[in-house]
């Protein structure tokens, strides 16, 4: 959903020949795609765009990607100016829901899919965390999201389809 640009969060600052949006590459086949994802993963760049799809790779370790500062950066950024991130997806859905950036207000749906242990639950929590930050001041929306967060059936809101794991 977003591509690499000028301003980058710290984790992406140290060199990034591997493209943030693989769909922007002139040639894209399975080998290029897997190579690009692998290269980024080795640099701890766990998020990669492929056009409108965000690929999130599970780092299985805490990374400094989710702090308040990073969340702030992604709240009102222009599409394409920051590296791919789950917060960018959340921001895009949030602003589109409210009809900002040109469109009319519309319900939004984010499908989070992956094999067991891929990180769907964590991604959902991060998505909601960022949306909570975005809707500070909108108490009705905040309450609605808090209700979702407290819902023990949160997992059932996630599409748990099994995808092929290549890496
Ligand atoms: N972004 C992340 N950063 C660090 N660790 C993560 C991240 N995402 C997932 N993990 C780690 O991977 C584990 C499994 O993730 P999670 O529970 O989200 O997977 P899941 O896809 O929901 O699995 P299942 O379908 O089996 O419920 C987490 O407990 C956490 O330790």
Alpha-helical (H) ranges within the chain are 30-42, 68-75, 86-97, 120-134, 139-150
Residue nearest to ligand 1 atom 31, measured at CA: 60
Residue 4 lies in a domain: no
Q: Which domain holds residue 60?
A: 10-157
What is the biggest distance separating any 2 CA atoms in the chain, rounded to whole angstroms? 47
Residue 100 lies in a domain: yes
Residue 164 lies in a domain: no
Indicate the number of domains in the chain.
Answer: 1
Distances (CA, A) of 161 to 101, 111, 112: 32, 10, 9
3-state SS class at 56: strand
Residue 124 lies in a domain: yes
Pocket lining for ligand 1, CB < 6 angstroms: 58-60, 62-63, 114, 116-122, 160
Residue nearest to ligand 1 atom 23, measured at CA: 117
Residue 144 lies in a domain: yes
Q: ipTM of the assembly?
A: 0.98
Q: Are 92 and 1 in contact (CB under 8 A)?
A: yes
d(CA 112, CA 46): 15
Q: At what angle do helices 86-97 and 68-75 cross, to 10 degrees?
A: 40
Residue 46 lies in a domain: yes
Residue 14 lies in a domain: yes
Distances (CA, A) of 160 to 1, 3, 100, 109, 113: 21, 27, 30, 15, 6
Residue nearest to ligand 1 atom 11, measured at CA: 60
Beta-carbon neighbour count of residue 123 at 10 Å? 21
Report the CATH number that the domain containing residue 45 is assigned in CATH. Answer: 3.40.850.10
Residue 163 lies in a domain: no
3-state SS class at 19: coil
pLDDT by residue for the chain (167 residues), tens only, comes to: 333 333 344 444 434 445 788 888 888 899 999 999 999 999 999 999 988 899 999 999 999 999 999 999 999 888 778 999 999 999 998 888 888 877 788 888 888 999 999 999 999 889 988 988 998 877 777 777 777 666 544 444 443 333 332 22
């Amino acid at each position: 959903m977003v591509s690499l640009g000028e301003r980058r969060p710290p984790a992406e600052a140290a060199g990034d020949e591997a493209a943030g949006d693989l769909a922007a590459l002139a040639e894209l086949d399975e080998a290029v795609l897997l190579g690009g994802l692998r290269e980024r993963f080795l640099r701890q760049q766990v998020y990669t765009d492929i056009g409108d799809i965000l690929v999130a790779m599970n780092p299985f370790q805490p990374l400094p990607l989710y702090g308040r500062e990073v969340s702030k950066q992604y709240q009102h950024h222009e599409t394409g100016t920051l590296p791919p991130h789950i917060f960018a997806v959340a921001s895009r859905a949030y602003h589109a829901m409210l009809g900002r950036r040109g469109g009319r207000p519309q319900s939004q749906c984010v499908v989070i899919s992956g094999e067991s242990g891929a990180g769907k639950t964590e991604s959902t929590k991060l998505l909601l965390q960022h949306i909570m930050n975005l809707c500070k001041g909108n108490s009705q929306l905040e309450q609605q999201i808090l209700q979702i967060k407290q819902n023990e059936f949160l997992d059932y809101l996630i599409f748990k389809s099994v995808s092929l794991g290549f890496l």
